[in-house]
Chains A and B, each alone.
Chain A
Amino acid sequence: MLKIENLHARVEGKEILKGLSLTVNPGEVHAIMGPNGAGKSTLGNVLSGRDGYEVTEGSVIFEGRDLLALEPEERAAAGMFLAFQYPVEIPGVNNTYFLRAALNAQRKQRGEGELDSMQFLKLVREKLKIMQISDELLHRAVNEGFSGGEKKRNEIFQMAVLEPKLAVLDETDSGLDIDALKQVSQGVNALRSSERAFLVITHYQRLLDYIEPDFVHVLADGRIVESGDKALALKLERLGYAWVGEREPAGAQA
Chain B
Amino acid sequence: MSQQPASSPMLESLLEAPLPQGAAWLDVIRRENLDALAAHGLPDSRHEAWKYTALRGLAQRRFHQGDALALTREVDAGLLQLPGIDGPRLVFVNGAFRADLSRLDDLPDGLEVLPLSRALAQDDEPLRFALSQRYRDVADAFAQLNIAYATDGVVLRVAAGARIDAPLQLSFLGAEAGELAWHLRHVIALGDGAQLSLVEHHAGLSNSPQLVTSMADIVLGEGARLQMTVLQQAASEAALVRRTGLQLGVAAHATMHVAELGGGLVRHDLYGELKGDGARLDTRGVFALRGRQHVDTQLALRHDALATASESLWRGVADQRARGVFRGAIVVAEGADGSDASLSNKNLLLSAQAEIDTKPELEIYADEVKAAHGATVGQLDERALFYLRSRGIALAQARTLLTAAFCRAVLADIPHEPLRDHISDLLLAQLPADVSA
Contacts and interface: CB of A to CB of B under 8 A. Distances in A.
B19 interface: no
Contacts of B404: 92
Interface in B42-67: none
Contacts of B436: none
- Considering residues B393, B401, B402, which has the most beta carbons from chain A within 10 angstroms of its beta carbon? B393
A71 interface: yes
Contact of A105 (B392, B402, B405, B406): B392
Interface residues of A, number: 31
B394 A87 contact: no
Interface string B368-406: 000000000000011110111111111101100110111
B387 A102 contact: no
A93 interface: yes
Interface string A55-88: 0000000000000000111011100011010011
A81 B381 CA distance: 21
B392 A73 contact: yes
Given A51-B386, A92-B408, A71 B402 contact: no
Contacts of A141: 405
Contact of A102 (B383, B384, B392, B409): B392
A72 B397 contact: no
A82 B390 contact: yes
B401 A102 contact: no
Interface residues of B, number: 23
A103 B383 contact: no
Contacts of A73: 389-395, 398
A51 B397 contact: no
Contacts of A76: 389-392
A76 B397 CA distance: 15
Interface string A179-192: 00000000000000
A206 interface: no
A88 B392 contact: no
Contacts of B383: 88
Given A50-B390, A105-B391, A105-B392, 20 more contacts: A51-B386, A72-B389, A73-B389, A73-B390, A73-B391, A73-B393, A76-B390, A76-B392, A81-B390, A88-B387, A89-B384, A92-B404, A93-B402, A102-B388, A102-B391, A105-B394, A105-B397, A106-B391, A109-B392, A162-B392
Interface of B: 381-384, 386-395, 397-398, 401-402, 404-406, 408-409
22 contacts: A48-B390, A71-B389, A73-B390, A73-B391, A73-B393, A73-B395, A81-B390, A87-B387, A88-B386, A90-B384, A90-B387, A90-B405, A91-B405, A92-B409, A93-B401, A101-B393, A102-B391, A102-B392, A103-B392, A105-B391, A105-B393, A105-B397
List the 3 closest pairs (A to B, CB-CB), nearest first.
A92-B405, A76-B392, A106-B392
